[in-house]
């Protein structure tokens, strides 16, 4: 493991080993409670006080049948509590109704959105359109609730201490049963004297789509209460995984895609496999005024967006009549086809994610686009205090090689002004997940704090928790997790009470 300035950073002499990467895909075999993690290098900073939560697929096989895509794996939450320089680890599966049923049956009873089929072939899958809420995408704290999120249906509420599943949450009667609720809330830190909030959305889609934009209080006695909401209708089918906020706006990028549900209905494909790029269409920005902003009662602004496909945004901010939106663009919609094995994918055939900055001119409804780095990346974030404002630095997961797609093995700090990069590598046998930036509250310097990242250690066939200094990506601590957890999705930090 090493950190380097990118000007010296070369392709690793030890390219990744695909078997090391794929060895992460296993069932999580144990649920642990408050196990103290062994520090094998450095020291855990005493000033880190809180819990690092992560979510991701933890159950990938039943009765010798493997999921078709890891995203179809049942959600398993990890909680790493930092207290007085010690980290204790707890993990639990989210006890969704569907997970309980499949545990009892010992086999898959539901189709997965990403192509997992029930045993029994096409006939046994045709016209079964039930959704399995797999609660595997993100985990965030809102008020007293810890929420396991999956965008197509309700959040599950968990006990933040022991991760016990309490059940489906309606967020104090805000949500109807089964209502779509994004796995990508944005936490507005509260700029210009305003209260901090959690801003999020749900989408219903078809020939027309409706976005329900919701804002929740995050502090004080109202924490967890819905403060405001609005609903807006748009033309066309929507696939919106993420969005970005500024003090005045919620910004969505509607990719130019098409959805042909027939193979899903006929039992041949998962619903997400029926999505493809629509070369005849045009991507759109859907920009919705926030209720707490200066344009609250106005209609959304809609205009053309760049070609390509975006899952995740880094951040957005305002500059006079412009919104600047930084997003990770793919040339095409990446998917795993029905006959492909996800462990054997050829990375060189999949488009890489490239971080780009778009300046959206609200006066003349145009955009300008530029790349911020040409290296394949995902899971990017700024210091949470900078969400919605211009940030100087971003931290993200990247490939080792400077160009082309490859597994994520590095953490990169990117100076968004100068372009200077600092890289820490888990290679050649380590693979990173989403890095989480935890600011040092005793400092007002933007890059003072820590980067927490759970890596897959291909040599040990288990995970390590890495604590890096956010400013130079030097290692503060390396801790061994006595567990094998597949490559995961998203997570969050909750300060100690
Ligand atoms: Fe995501």
Other CB atoms within a 10 A radius of the CB of residue 46 amount to 11
Give yes or no for a contact between 436 and 452, defined as CB atoms under 8 angstroms apart.
Answer: yes
What is the DSSP secondary-structure string of 165-209?
Answer: EEEE--TTTTS-TT----S--EEE---TTPPPEEEEEEEE-SSEE
Say how far residue 131 (Cα) sits from the centre of its chain: 20
**Longest pairwise C-alpha distance within the chain:** 61
Distance 85 CA to ligand 1 centre (A): 30
The tokens describing 130, both together, are: 């039930």
Cα-based distances in Å from 252 to 188, 286, 313, 315: 16, 5, 9, 12
Distance 75 CA to ligand 1 centre (A): 14
Distance 442 CA to ligand 1 centre (A): 30
Distance 344 CA to ligand 1 centre (A): 22
Give yes or no for a contact between 437 and 412, defined as CB atoms under 8 angstroms apart.
Answer: no
Distance 41 CA to ligand 1 centre (A): 31
Distance 211 CA to ligand 1 centre (A): 18
User: Which pLDDT belongs to residue 5?
Assistant: 44
pLDDT values of the chain reduced to their tens digit, one per residue, 497 residues: 554 544 334 445 557 889 999 999 999 999 999 999 999 999 999 999 999 999 999 999 999 999 989 999 999 999 999 999 999 999 999 999 999 999 999 999 998 888 888 888 888 877 878 888 999 999 999 999 999 999 999 999 999 999 999 999 999 999 999 999 999 999 999 988 899 999 999 999 888 999 999 999 999 999 999 999 999 999 988 889 999 999 999 999 998 888 888 888 888 888 888 788 888 889 999 999 999 999 999 999 999 999 999 999 999 999 999 999 999 999 987 666 667 788 888 888 889 999 999 999 999 999 999 999 999 999 999 999 999 999 999 999 999 999 999 999 999 999 999 999 999 999 999 999 999 999 999 999 999 999 999 999 999 999 999 999 999 999 999 999 999 999 999 999 999 98
Instruction: Identify the H or E element spanning 263.
Output: helix 262-265
Instruction: Give the sheet arrangement for strand 145-149, strand by strand.
Output: 138-142, 145-149, 156-158, 165-168
Distance 455 CA to ligand 1 centre (A): 18
Distance 396 CA to ligand 1 centre (A): 13
Q: Which residues contact 25 (CB under 8 A, 6 or more apart)?
A: 60, 70, 342, 343, 486, 487
Going by C-alpha positions, the residue among 465, 446, 447 that lies closest to residue 455 is 465
Distance 79 CA to ligand 1 centre (A): 19
User: Which pLDDT belongs to residue 460?
Assistant: 96
Residues 201 and 183: their CA atoms lie apart, in Å, by 9
Distance 243 CA to ligand 1 centre (A): 10
Distance 46 CA to ligand 1 centre (A): 31
Distance 8 CA to ligand 1 centre (A): 31
Q: pTM of the entire structure?
A: 0.95
Distance 381 CA to ligand 1 centre (A): 12
Distance 13 CA to ligand 1 centre (A): 31
The tokens describing 286, both together, are: 């859907």
Q: Which residues contact 430 (CB under 8 A, 6 or more apart)?
A: 1, 409, 455, 456, 457, 458, 464
Distance 242 CA to ligand 1 centre (A): 7
User: Which pLDDT belongs to residue 273?
Assistant: 82
Distance 414 CA to ligand 1 centre (A): 20
Distance 489 CA to ligand 1 centre (A): 7
Domain ranges across the chain: 2-495
Distance 204 CA to ligand 1 centre (A): 18
Give yes or no for a contact between 224 and 172, defined as CB atoms under 8 angstroms apart.
Answer: yes
The tokens describing 328, both together, are: 């990770």
Distance 120 CA to ligand 1 centre (A): 31
The tokens describing 54, both together, are: 């992560």
Distance 444 CA to ligand 1 centre (A): 29
Distance 150 CA to ligand 1 centre (A): 10
Cα-based distances in Å from 169 to 172, 179, 262, 430, 473: 8, 11, 32, 36, 38
Other CB atoms within a 10 A radius of the CB of residue 262 amount to 9
Distance 355 CA to ligand 1 centre (A): 15
Beta strands 284-289; 249-254: pairing state = antiparallel
Number of Cα atoms under 13 Å in the Cβ half of residue 90: 17
Length of the chain: 497
Other CB atoms within a 10 A radius of the CB of residue 390 amount to 15
Distance 491 CA to ligand 1 centre (A): 10
**First-to-last CA distance in the chain?**
33
- Pure H helices in 356-485: none
Q: Which residues contact 403 (CB under 8 A, 6 or more apart)?
A: 352, 374, 375, 376
Domain range 2-495, CATH class: mainly beta
């Amino acid at each position: 493991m090493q950190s380097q300035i990118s000007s010296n950073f070369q392709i690793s002499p030890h390219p990744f080993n695909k078997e090391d990467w794929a060895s992460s895909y296993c069932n999580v075999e144990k649920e642990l409670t408050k196990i103290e993690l062994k520090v094998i290098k450095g020291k855990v900073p005493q000033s880190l006080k809180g819990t690092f939560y992560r979510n991701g697929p933890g159950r990938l096989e039943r009765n010798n049948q493997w999921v078709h895509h890891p995203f179809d794996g049942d959600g398993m939450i990890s909680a790493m509590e930092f207290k007085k320089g010690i980290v204790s680890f707890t993990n639990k599966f989210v006890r969704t109704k569907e997970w309980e049923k499949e545990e009892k049956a010992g086999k898959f009873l539901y189709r997965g959105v990403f192509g997992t089929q029930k045993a029994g072939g096409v006939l046994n899958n045709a016209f079964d359109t039930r959704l399995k809420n797999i609660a595997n995408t993100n985990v965030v704290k809102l008020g007293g609730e810890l929420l396991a999120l999956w965008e197509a249906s309700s959040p599950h509420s968990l006990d933040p201490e022991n991760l016990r599943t309490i059940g489906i949450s309606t967020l104090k009667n805000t949500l109807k049963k089964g209502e779509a609720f994004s796995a990508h809330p944005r936490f507005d830190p509260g700029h210009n004297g305003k209260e901090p909030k959690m801003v999020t959305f749900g989408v219903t889609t078809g020939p027309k789509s409706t976005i329900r934009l919701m804002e929740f209080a995050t502090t004080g006695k109202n924490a967890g209460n819905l403060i405001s909401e609005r609903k807006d209708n748009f033309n066309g089918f929507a696939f919106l995984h993420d969005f970005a906020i500024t003090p005045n706006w919620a910004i969505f990028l509607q990719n130019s895609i098409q959805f042909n549900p027939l193979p899903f209905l006929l039992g041949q494909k998962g619903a997400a496999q029926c999505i493809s790029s629509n070369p005849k269409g045009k991507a759109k920005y859907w920009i919705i005024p926030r209720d707490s902003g200066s344009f609250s009662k106005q209609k959304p602004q809609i205009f053309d967006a760049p070609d390509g496909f975006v899952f995740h945004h880094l951040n957005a901010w305002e500059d006079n009549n412009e919104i600047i939106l930084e997003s990770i663009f793919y040339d095409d919609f990446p998917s795993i086809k029905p006959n492909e094995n996800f462990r054997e994918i050829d990375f060189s055939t999949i488009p890489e994610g490239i971080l780009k900055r778009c300046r959206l001119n609200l006066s003349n409804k145009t955009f300008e686009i530029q790349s911020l780095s040409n290296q394949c990346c995902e899971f990017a974030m700024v210091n949470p205090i900078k969400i919605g404002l211009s940030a100087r630095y971003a931290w993200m997961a990247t490939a080792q090689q400077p160009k082309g797609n490859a597994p994520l093995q590095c953490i990169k700090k990117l100076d968004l002004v100068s372009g200077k990069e600092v890289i820490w590598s888990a290679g050649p046998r380590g693979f990173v997940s989403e890095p989480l930036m935890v600011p040092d509250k005793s400092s007002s310097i933007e890059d003072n704090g820590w980067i927490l990242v759970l890596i897959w250690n291909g040599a040990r066939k288990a995970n390590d928790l890495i604590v890096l200094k956010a400013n130079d990506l030097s290692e503060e601590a390396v801790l061994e997790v006595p567990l094998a957890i597949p490559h995961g999705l998203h997570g969050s930090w909750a300060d100690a009470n």
